[in-house]
Amino acid sequence: MRKITLAVLSLLLLVAMGWADSSFSHQLSARLGPQQNNIVIGANQEPDQLNPWEGSADTKENVTALFNIGLTYFDNEGNLLPGLATEVPSTSNGRVRISGTVEAGNFRQEVDWTLRDNAKWSDGVDITTDDVLFTLEVQQHQLVPVSFRTFSNTIVEIKAKDKKNFTIAYNSPNLFFASPTGRVGLARFYDIAPKHVWEPIFRAAIAAAQAPGADAAAVIQAQFLGAAPGSGTNPNAVVGSGPYKFAEWQRGQFIRGTRRVDFFLAPPGPAQNYVQEVIVRFFVATETLQAAILSGELDASDDIGLAGVDPAVLRGQLGNTANVEVSPSGFIEQLHFSQYVSGRTYGGQAINLPVCQVADDLLLGDPRTRQAIIQAINRETLAPTVFAGAIVSNSFVVRGDVGFNTELNQYPYNLDAAKALLAQLGWTPGPNGVLQRKTADGRTVLFRLPHATTPAGFRVRTQEILQQDLVAVGIAYDPSNQPASVLFSNEFIYGSNCNWQGIIEFASAGGIGEVPADELSGELWADDPRSTAAFDNVGRPENAFAGGNVGGWANSEYDKLHFQALSEFDIDKRAAIIRQMQVIYNTELPSVPLYERVELITAKAGLVNYTKGSAVTRTPFWNAWEWGWTQNGAVQAR
């Protein structure tokens, strides 16, 4: 016992001595900020790996922007600027040429790209068209588990004119050829991978995977995707095109990079005035991230980790030690209705999609039911209560997007209007005030509305408010929570399975600044008139649950406009089409748009150019080469 006591006391003494060691205390504080001209950023999401071909794009977005840059990038106002490329291709500069038509089957879209002469990989090797061709070869290889090939599949030809110039030809319209969703067609936010690093690994892995008896998927995972340039186990193997050179990755803890002197984009003034080292620390819990910010351990925080935190409270806690920036996230929180009801039509024709009994009984297929529910919810109160800074939405497009329609019905909180609509549909007060009605087959059904979502704090608070609001119009509310992995699994998320039959809540992307049609209405369109398959986007067993339409809403007029927009290269005309689509959405309400989410970032006083001004910008890491401390001579870049 005495020995153990001595051991514990020794340990405590050891710690106390370390504390008292002033040089060490200085070393700890000096890891932060202006003293060492570095920056320590707290982030919520850690990438799984750094290879450019696999993984959830969003978790990689921030960190990979340190080590890689695309052909183009969005600035703080949402303008598309040239990155690795010398200029952004457009029809006006002659770099985009369109001929033929989709209908005639001879459509061709050619895009010319020129790589910067001074664009180099972090190991000093030139970035060339060889890298582009190799990247596409990997992307298209049948053994590489790339998530999707929507755009790369439409590439019919890549011509490398020389080491710096290449042309990509598509056989169907690609509006997003220059933006982060559809350039060469790789996983998002990566354009080009270094051939000289990855090619030997790729060839060896493919040979091993194709050997008799080999488990191809396991070999590709272990020998290719998990190889050192992606896993970060050997810092020298990680080679990128971005402003920082990869230095160290302690999984679950932090990732570190050092400024590249040979990066082709420069901050204003001498580069040594700007941060020389970036450390991104990863935090799982918002509370811990917040504590680290308040304790002064972090110089800045990313745009995801503080979701739902009240900016006013945070400002009060931080005082004048740091700035709190609030910016639109580009995401709209929505309640999607199950539309799997009987008697449906599409373009005037009867259609045969699954029917879910509860959705059918509750008349969720009738727009009046959805209009009643949206007016029964006090969204003006709900939005700021559950998600500080959020604003009520009435569209599937976010405010500020060039295609946003300002003249939509606002659906203010109106209990009388909601009750009147429900009465029109035959609902009458029943036991305990819950609405009831007789069905055509003689059954009496009560209005019990099921609601499924994930157990995130702000969604649980939403459920509490919905419970109060809906009971006021006689709707009994039946909330349930599922872990995200279950809610978004194909067994659950698709309403065609009838595992959820009322409403399901999640957030959807609401704008990337170019009047998009594809990303935005991914949950809303049903049928692609250009394909022979029926209801391509409505996930059900017969199409292996493909497509983003989970509620099953199908509107032929909306679909027609959707595909018209996807083929319209004139941005003003495309914006007009998107505005028409919003009118249909706003009348039909296949989902109740609750609110537009906002994002918070914090930056210590003195840190400049760490900002994320718009939803289009997507990440505060877009201009990492311009981060700096005013104490060290850094200045505002824009």
Partner 1 sequence: MFAYLVRRALQIIPTLFVISVVIYALLALKPGDPIDELRRGNPGFTAADYDRLIKLYGLDKPWYVRYWYWVGRAAQGDFGPSRRFGMPAAQYVFQYRLPNTLLLSGLSLLIAFVIAVPTGMLSALRQHSLFDYGVTFVNFIGVSIPIFWFGIMLMYIFSVQLRLLPAGSLQTPGIEGLWPIIVDRARHLILPVAALSSLQMASWTRFMRSSMLEIINLDYIRTARAKGLPERLVTVRHTMRNAILPIITLVALAIPTVMSGAVLTETVFNWPGMGRAIFDAIVVNDFNVAMVSLMFISLLVLLFNLLADIIYVIVDPRIRYD
Site for partner 1 in 26-45 (CB under 8 A): 27-28, 31, 40
Per CB under 8 A, which of residues 328..357 are in contact with partner 1?
A: none
How many residues touch partner 1 under the rule CB under 8 A: the total is: 86
Q: Which of 92, 99, 142, 349 binds partner 1 (CB under 8 A)?
A: 142
Answer whether 64's CB lies under 8 Å from 47's CB: yes
| Residue 412 to residue 482: CA distance in whole angstroms | 30
What's the Cα-to-Cα distance from 381 to each of 306, 413, 595, rounded to whole Å? 21, 9, 11
CA 546 to CA 528: how far, in whole Å?
Answer: 13
Q: Could you give the CA distance from residue 399 to residue 406 in angstroms, rounded to a whole number?
A: 8
**Region binding partner 1 by CB under 8 A among candidate stretches 10-18, 413-421, 445-453, 470-478:** 10-18
Dist CA 434 CA 437 (whole Å): 10
Question: Minimum distance between the CB of residue 504 and partner 1, rounded to whole angstroms?
Answer: 14
Q: Does 532 bind partner 1 (CB under 8 A)?
A: no
Binder among 184, 279, 598, 624 for partner 1 (CB under 8 A): 279
Q: Does 498 bind partner 1 (CB under 8 A)?
A: no
Q: How far is the CB of 226 from partner 1 (least distance, A)?
A: 2
Closer Cβ to partner 1, 365 or 551, answer by number: 551
Among 6, 9, 11, 605, binds partner 1 (CB under 8 A): 11
CB of 354 to partner 1, least distance (A): 17
Does position 489 bind partner 1 by CB under 8 A?
yes
| 505 counts as binding partner 1 under rule CB under 8 A | no
Q: Closest Cα to residue 335, out of 417, 191, 467, 453?
A: 453
- Distance between CA atoms of residues 118 and 390, nearest Å: 43
Question: How many whole angstroms separate alpha carbon 237 and alpha carbon 245?
Answer: 11
| Intra-chain end-to-end CA distance of the chain, in Å | 66
At its nearest, how many Å lie between partner 1 and the CB of residue 446?
28
Q: How far is the CB of 485 from partner 1 (least distance, A)?
A: 5
Calpha distance 595→385 (Å, rounded): 11
Q: Which residues ranging from 57 to 76 are in contact with partner 1 (CB under 8 A)?
A: 57-58
Query: Which residue's structure tokens are 């449906």?
Result: 344
3-state secondary structure of 201: helix
Q: How far is CA 577 from the centre of its chain?
A: 24
1-9, 356-364, 374-382, 616-624 -> range binding partner 1 (CB under 8 A): 1-9
To partner 1, the closest distance from the beta carbon of 536 in angstroms equals 8
CA atoms within 13 A on the CB side of 170: 26
Nearest to partner 1 of 406, 485 (CB atom): 485
We find the least distance from the C-beta atom of residue 18 to partner 1, in angstroms, to be 3
Rounded to a whole number of angstroms, the minimum distance from the CB of residue 19 to partner 1 is: 8
Binding residues among 190-229 for partner 1 as defined by CB under 8 A: 215-218, 221-222, 225-227
Binding of partner 1 at residue 483 (CB under 8 A)? yes
Q: How far is the CB of 435 from partner 1 (least distance, A)?
A: 32
Q: Is 150 in the site for partner 1 (CB under 8 A)?
A: yes
Q: In terms of CB distance, is 550 or 601 closer to partner 1?
A: 550
The Cα 363–Cα 379 span in angstroms is 22
- Please identify which residue in 282, 404, 494, 595 interacts with partner 1, judged by CB under 8 A: 282
Identified binder of partner 1 from the candidate list 6, 21, 161, 210, rule CB under 8 A: 21
Q: Is 4 in the site for partner 1 (CB under 8 A)?
A: yes
Smallest gap from residue 475 Cβ to partner 1 (A): 28
Query: Per CB under 8 A, does 170 bind partner 1?
Result: no
Among 130, 137, 199, 297, binds partner 1 (CB under 8 A): 297
Selected binder of partner 1 within 312, 484, 571, 605 (CB under 8 A): 484
The DSSP bridge partners found for residue 507 are 333
Q: Does 19 bind partner 1 (CB under 8 A)?
A: yes
Smallest separation, CB 21 to partner 1 (Å): 7
Positions 239 through 278 that interact with partner 1 (CB under 8 A) = 248, 250-254, 256, 277
CA 89 to each of CA 124, 171, 510: distance values in angstroms, whole numbers, following the listed order: 27, 18, 25
281 in contact with partner 1 (CB under 8 A): yes
Residue nearer to partner 1 on the CB measure, 316 or 433: 316
Question: Per CB under 8 A, which region of 21-29, 329-337, 409-417, 471-479 contacts partner 1?
Answer: 21-29
Full DSSP string of 223-244: IIITSHHHH-SSGGG---SSSE
Among positive and negative, which fits the CA dihedral 119, 124, 129, 135?
negative
291 binds partner 1 (CB under 8 A): yes
DSSP 501-560: -SEEEEEEE---SS--STTTTTTT----TTSSSSSTTB--GGGTT-SSB-S----HHHHH
Q: Is 569 in the site for partner 1 (CB under 8 A)?
A: no
Kindly state the smallest distance separating residue 145's Cβ from partner 1, in Å: 5
Give the residue with the Cβ less far from partner 1, 477 or 563.
563
> Whole-angstrom Cα distance, residue 140 to residue 119?
25
Listed residue (328, 322, 326) closest to 603, CA to CA: 322
Cα 315 versus chain centre, distance? 26
Report d(CA 183, CA 3) in Å as an integer.
66
Which is closer to partner 1, CB of 61 or CB of 596? 61
Decide: is 535 part of the binding site for partner 1 (CB under 8 A).
no
| CA proximity to 450, closest of 373, 506, 504 | 504
DSSP strand E in 389-484: where?
391-392, 428-429, 435-438, 444-446, 448-453, 476-481
Interacting residue with partner 1 among 6, 214, 285, 312 (CB under 8 A): 285
Is 3 among the residues that bind partner 1 (CB under 8 A)? no
Can you give 461-491 as a three-state secondary structure string? HHHHHHHHHHHCCCCEEEEEECCHHHHCCCC
Based on the shown chain and the rule CB under 8 A, indicate whether residue 141 belongs to the binding site for partner 1.
no
Task: Report the DSSP pairing between strands 591-604 and 322-337.
Answer: antiparallel
CA atoms within 13 A on the CB side of 191: 27
Q: Which stretch binds partner 1 (CB under 8 A): 22-30, 90-98, 338-346, 612-620?
A: 22-30
Min. distance of Cβ 87 from partner 1 in angstroms?
26
- Residues 509-528, one symbol each (x = binds partner 1 by CB under 8 A, - = not), give x--------xx--x------
Exactly one of 149, 159, 438, 638 binds partner 1 (CB under 8 A); that residue is 149
Q: Is residue 22 part of the contact set for partner 1 (CB under 8 A)?
A: no
Question: Rounded to whole angstroms, how far apart are CA atoms 284 and 592?
Answer: 30
